[in-house]
Amino acid sequence: MRRQPPDLGQRLRRAREAKGLTVADVAATTRISARALLAIEQERFNELPGGIFRRTFVQTYADTVGLDGAACARSYVTSFEPAPLSADDDPLEWPRATVALAIAIVLAVLFTGILAFTA
Query: Do the domain assignments include residue 2?
Result: no
Domains held by the chain: number: 2
For the residues 31-57, what does the mean pLDDT come to? 94
Indicate if the pLDDT at residue 112 is higher than 80: yes
Same domain (yes/no): 76, 21: yes
**The length of the chain, given as a count of residues:** 119
For the residues 36-53, what does the mean pLDDT come to? 93
For the chain, what is the mean pLDDT? Answer: 86
The pLDDT value given to residue 90: 58
Query: Do the domain assignments include residue 52?
Result: yes
**pLDDT tens for each residue of 78-99:** 888 877 666 565 555 556 677 7
**pLDDT tens for each residue of 54-82:** 999 999 999 999 999 999 999 999 888 87
Domain interval for residue 113:
87-118
